């Protein structure tokens, strides 16, 4: 946990007060954390988990092995099937 002292403008203070009341939070620190939890993902791209990348690479490798290393045309339904495995 990081402690920070912040100066809020009147509007920012009002927004935090509304968030605090809306979610029945104890203080504006919790309200700020809630606000960031809600809107943060819009500003920062999510981290891709290593396991997910490995799964996608395995799917690709298996597909290329089955098709002798040459990608072939496929329908959208076939493509969806690869990712539902």
Give per-residue burial for 40-72: e unless 16+ CB within 10 Å, then b.
eeeeeeeeeeeeeeeeeeeeeeeeeeeeeeeee
Whole-number pLDDT of residue 69: 67
For 19-67, write each residue's pLDDT tens digit. 999 999 999 999 999 999 999 988 888 788 899 999 999 998 888 888 7
pLDDT band at 70 (very low <50, low <70, confident <90, very high): low
Domain extents in the chain: 10-43, 50-83
22 vs 70, higher pLDDT = 22
- Concatenate the DSSP letters of all residues of 53-64 into one string: HHHHHHHHHHHH
Whole-number pLDDT of residue 85: 60
- Tell me the pTM: 0.54
């Amino acid at each position: 946990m990081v402690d920070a002292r912040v100066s809020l403008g009147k509007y920012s203070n009002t927004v935090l007060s509304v968030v605090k009341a809306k979610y029945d939070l104890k203080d504006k620190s919790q309200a700020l954390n809630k606000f960031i939890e809600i809107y943060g993902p819009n500003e920062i791209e999510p981290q891709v988990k290593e396991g997910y990348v490995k799964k996608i690479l395995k799917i690709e490798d298996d597909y290329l092995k089955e098709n002798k290393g040459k990608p072939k045309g496929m329908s959208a339904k076939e493509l969806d099937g690869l990712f539902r495995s």
